[in-house]
Amino acid sequence: MSHGGGEVMHHENHHSRLIIFSIFIAILAFLIVTSFYDGASLTGNFINGDRPNSTTKFYAELTSPNLDIKGSFEKIEIRGGSDSFFYVGDQKFRLSSTKNYIILENYTGEMSFNPENIKNLEGKALKVTVNGIVMEPNEKDSLKVSFDKELRYSFLNIESEVLVEKMFYSSSGIIRINNGKNVFNIEDENIGVKNFIGSLRIENDKFKMNGSIESMEIQGQNKILVSQ
């Protein structure tokens, strides 16, 4: 009987040593992997979340697209006219049909526009200026903002960290990659951009993008692909 008990204890000790050895190997493998990738640890990936790895410097002056964006932006500036109302918190502003200047600071929400009109704007801002009138919430809150109809604009500036996941349309203009190391002059060619991060500005009928991208494709007489 005692001999059988010794076999059971020997088996249990062997099983415990196997578990400890497996844990040691797992920890060692984790340290080797994180060291090999120069600090790009699993923790770092979780902290970064779904933020794309857009590192190719990108600047463009193009014709304007139809675009839908959403997120949190440091500042939005709009110049334009519309015989409509602009809602800010519990206030309602009558906009003129010609000249209005609106500033949204620390805006979170959505926005869609085409070359002529801001089709939709709905979100919250920490500070709003409408034709020189400044509004801020009484407490650490935010103000709901929205248009009741489309607003025809002449100037639109959106800063910063705007994320455009995908954009593909026919356009004309100029594109500069990596601070002008590569320059493309395009004329009615299809342009595809993936994961742009930066600022957007539309003025004088030019759509300006300044930031970085993950990849770009131009489809014209020749097919050009730029990627990381």
Q: Which residues of 149-164 are buried (b: 16+ CB within 10 A; e: fewer)?
A: ebbebeebbbbeebbb
**Which residues lie closer than 8 Å to 74 by C-beta, 6 or more apart?**
105, 106, 159, 160, 161
> What's the pTM?
0.75
- Hunting for tokens 């009109």 — which residue is that? 117
Q: For position 140, what pLDDT does the model report?
A: 76
pLDDT in tens, the chain (228 residues): 444 555 544 445 555 565 555 555 554 444 433 333 333 322 222 223 366 888 999 999 999 999 999 999 999 999 999 989 999 999 999 999 889 999 999 999 999 999 999 999 999 999 999 999 999 998 778 999 999 999 999 999 999 889 999 999 999 999 999 999 999 999 999 999 999 999 999 999 999 999 999 999 999 888 999 987
* Alpha-carbon gap, residue 222 to 224, rounded angstroms: 6
For 26, the token pair is 């797992």
Q: What is the enclosing helix (H) or strand (E) of 30?
A: helix 2-36
Burial grade of 69 (CB within 10 A; 0-12, 13-18, 19 or more): middle
Beta strands in the chain (DSSP E): 56-62, 67-81, 85-88, 91-94, 100-113, 117-130, 133-135, 143-147, 151-177, 182-203, 206-213, 215-219, 223-227
* Alpha-carbon gap, residue 109 to 124, rounded angstroms: 6
Q: For position 220, what pLDDT does the model report?
A: 85
Residues 203 and 226: beta-carbon distance below 8 Å: no
Question: What are the distances in angstroms from CA 68 to CA 81, 155, 167?
Answer: 20, 17, 10
Q: For position 88, what pLDDT does the model report?
A: 97
Q: For position 12, what pLDDT does the model report?
A: 53
Q: For position 95, what pLDDT does the model report?
A: 95
Closest CA to 144 of 101, 100, 95, 91: 91
